[in-house]
């Protein structure tokens, strides 16, 4: 695996969401994380992939509605 692992706080800050929202995203399987000991860490690459997936979904919705993105 390349890249670094981020704490939940850092990952939440990068996404602009609360730690509780980040936990819900992880629980729902929308964002992958790894547990090492008692720590829950999010790969930085996963944060980027999550954003790309969300951008793609937004573009798909706009295209279906005949809007420009």
Average pLDDT over residues 50-56: 93
Whether 69 maps to a domain, the answer reads no
- Write the pLDDT tens digit of every residue in 13-49: 999 999 999 999 999 999 999 999 999 999 999 999 9
Domain assignment of residue 40, yes or no: yes
Banded model confidence at residue 63, pLDDT cuts 50, 70, 90: low
This prediction's pTM:
0.77
Q: What is the pLDDT of residue 5?
A: 96
Task: Give whole-number Cα distances, 66 to 52, 54, 58, 61, 69, in Å.
Answer: 21, 18, 12, 9, 10
Edge-first strand listing for the sheet containing 39-43: 5-7, 39-43, 34-36
Asked whether residue 54 is assigned to any structural domain, the reply reads yes
Domain count, the chain: 1
Q: What is the CATH number of the domain that holds 48?
A: 1.10.1660
* Residue-number span of the structural domain to which 44 is assigned: 5-64
């Amino acid at each position: 695996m390349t890249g670094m692992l981020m704490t939940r706080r850092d990952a939440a800050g990068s996404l602009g969401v609360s730690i509780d929202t980040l936990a819900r995203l992880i629980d729902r399987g929308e964002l992958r994380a790894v547990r090492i000991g008692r720590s829950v860490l999010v790969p930085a690459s996963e944060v980027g992939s999550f954003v790309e997936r969300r951008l793609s979904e937004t573009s798909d919705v706009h295209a279906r509605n005949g809007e420009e993105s």
